Amino acid sequence: MKSTFLHAPGDIRVEEAPDPVILAPGDAIVRVTAACVCGSDLWPYRGVRQFGHPISMGHELIGVVEAVGADVTTVKPGDFVISPFSFSDGTCQSCRAGFPSACDHVAFFGSTDSSGLPTVGAQSELARIPMADGSLVVVPEPFDQALVPDLLTLADVMSTGHHAAVSAGVGRGDVVVVVGDGAVGLSGVLAASRLGAERIIAMSRHQDRADLARTFGATDVVAERGDEGIAAIRDLLGGDQADAALECVGTEESMDQAIGAVRGGGRVGYVGVPAGGSRLPIGVLFSRNITVGGGMAPARQYIPELLPDVLSGAIRPGLVFDLELPLDGAAEAYAAMDERRAIKTLLRP
Amino acid sequence: MKSTFLHAPGDIRVEEAPDPVILAPGDAIVRVTAACVCGSDLWPYRGVRQFGHPISMGHELIGVVEAVGADVTTVKPGDFVISPFSFSDGTCQSCRAGFPSACDHVAFFGSTDSSGLPTVGAQSELARIPMADGSLVVVPEPFDQALVPDLLTLADVMSTGHHAAVSAGVGRGDVVVVVGDGAVGLSGVLAASRLGAERIIAMSRHQDRADLARTFGATDVVAERGDEGIAAIRDLLGGDQADAALECVGTEESMDQAIGAVRGGGRVGYVGVPAGGSRLPIGVLFSRNITVGGGMAPARQYIPELLPDVLSGAIRPGLVFDLELPLDGAAEAYAAMDERRAIKTLLRP
């Protein structure tokens, strides 16, 4: 099969690789209908984080089950499925509590599962999904093929935006600030809107992203950052601050921006993968009673909740994809996102 | 009047001081019926934190209103009142949202208010309460004088324990770990029990405190600390972890203990004043989806909610007081707590 590898920072190649096969009785093999590039894929691409090379890339896919192991009971060959970006057993305490991304046996694409058996990246023609019963969600068919981008977002970006909003306790009538105008931040805007936020302030200095934020429900856009951004939000709110903020970047600056945007007793939901410098200013959190929650989104938990709204067209999270390429175009997909020519790129094997 | 001052670490003296007077139209002057010593008072007493001396001590009191300023409308001379440990205007956004301890004009005992006017410590015969309408809560009379210790806990320690439990989202059926067996931790046990926790594991290695924890609703006591403590909790729970943990100490070790005690997606409520070394391990919080909330308790918000349960005898938070002395005995009150001969000391002017 064809599969995408990073050989060195900036060096993405789509190459022939062995077809993945069933390695454990809980496995499924999925033929990929669509995959995509995540903002977090850009970290090794940019050399921000050091990894051993080559790296098998991608962690978001939807597709059709080709084969299942002997123990799999909830999916069968021919089923159209969404795979969350993390695999989970569905039975441990964290899974039962609704946090499969903190599963005792959590595993990821392009790595190994908890038994040490290899997984491939999702930017491939085929993928091995361990713990298929705990991981995959079947999409009822038939569905409109135009929904492919929307369905694909449930694998990560929309579920992650939703997690930011849920972790920030966003509810009806809230005033919400969203820090980050990448695909996750934009999904956070959509999620906050879906959860009933009354006012959503998107922090963005890119016209295309600000426009999409408004399409997704943002009522205001603030271009300023840092203390100026915090002051601009106060101005918009007549001197008040937000009830909640979604931190969708993962830097110290973005976390400070989120914390500085909320009132006493405010809530910050964070889903930006904490970059090197990230830290939480406990003194400020303590004195201002700010709650911080979030982390790796429990996508497997959210997909069944969000799927009906995607299938009905109530939400169109797939609008975050503004570039679509064949899998062979993966190198350009990365370059376009790296150079901010694209918000998010969909790949069709 | 008599008032308590710290002249140097370990040097507590009760001395004559000028009677406080109305300085602003929102003030009240309260004659103190009972005050007490807080664990956080021990920090300057032990010299852990450096302050200018002398320090006017104490921040918990109940008493009778002697005089009010021209603008005060909700309390009048003769009213029996509880003063929360922080003063608040009751009108700013944070106050309206239920977080008066993050008030825009928050002020404290033994310091100055937001106009720079002086306040005295609560371990005194009289105290000036700025922003009396936003700060004081009237206790309906008559009430049984035996409830004085219970009422006094609402000023801080019981409200703070309640805040730990509320911030940790404790609800019916939860398994809760309480880190810290001081008066706040014990109050946290009582609060978790009141909120319906099914199983409450108190971490304590002092028999008297463990006994009181059980009286307050703890179902289990774990004496081990650190990794051994975490393992002991897992053993108690058949390999599982807690849904929530209350951090009631304020050190790095106690925060790690709380975070390590909860399952993926678990919740930590923290009320220990962050000591120098405190920090939050964002990488662990992110990967395990642990929410952290808390801070300075919004006591003014909680007192009206907790007061009926105190007046009815449904909860007996005053049991944390195991020593009662006249105000003149303040030096011994501090020494007894410092040497762990007392959990918490009540002072009667």
For the segment A77-119, what is each residue's pLDDT rounded down to a tens digit?
Answer: 999 999 999 999 999 999 999 999 999 999 999 999 999 999 9
Q: Strands, E, within chain B: which ranges?
A: 2-8, 11-16, 28-36, 55-56, 61-68, 80-83, 86-87, 107-108, 126-129, 137-138, 175-179, 199-203, 220-222, 242-247, 262-270, 291-294, 323-326, 345-348
Q: Which has more confidence, B53 or B113?
A: B113
Cβ contact A94–B291 (<8 Å): no
Question: Half-sphere exposure (CA, 13 Å, Cβ side) for A148?
Answer: 15
Cβ contact B282–A285 (<8 Å): no
A342 touches chain B (CB under 8 A): no
Low-confidence ranges of chain A (pLDDT < 70): 49-51, 275-278
Give the pLDDT confidence score for residue B273 in this predicted structure. Answer: 76
**Distance (Å, whole) CA B221 – CA A141:** 53
pTM beyond 0.90: yes
Residue B324 backbone dihedrals phi, psi, to 5 degrees: -130, 130
Which residues in chain A are contacts of B278 at CB distance < 8 A?
Answer: 282
**Distance (Å, whole) CA B107 – CA B81:** 18
- What is the distance between the terminal CA atoms of chain A, rounded to a whole angstrom? 10
**Distance (Å, whole) CA A165 – CA A7:** 36
Give the pLDDT confidence score for residue B277 in this predicted structure. Answer: 56
DSSP string, B247-286: E-S-SHHHHHHHHHHEEEEEEEEE-SPPPTT----HHHHH
pLDDT at residue B53 above 90?
A: no
Residue carrying structure tokens 């503004």:
A322
Give the pLDDT confidence score for residue B275 in this predicted structure. Answer: 65
Which residues in chain B are contacts of A282 at CB distance < 8 A?
Answer: 274, 278-280
pLDDT digits 0-9 by tens, A15-30: 999 999 999 999 999 9
B310 touches chain A (CB under 8 A): no
**Distance (Å, whole) CA A220 – CA A225:** 14
Cβ contact B263–A93 (<8 Å): yes
Domains present along chain A, CATH in parentheses: 2-156+298-348 (3.90.180.10), 161-294 (3.40.50.720)
Nearest beta carbon to residue A295 from set B97, B279, B286: B286
Give the pLDDT confidence score for residue B52 in this predicted structure. Answer: 75
ipTM of the complex in this document: 0.93
Q: Which residues of A80-104 are buried (b: 16+ CB within 10 A; e: fewer)?
A: bbbbbbbbbbbebbbbebebbbbbe
Give SS3 for B128: strand
**Tokens at B130, concatenated:** 């700025």
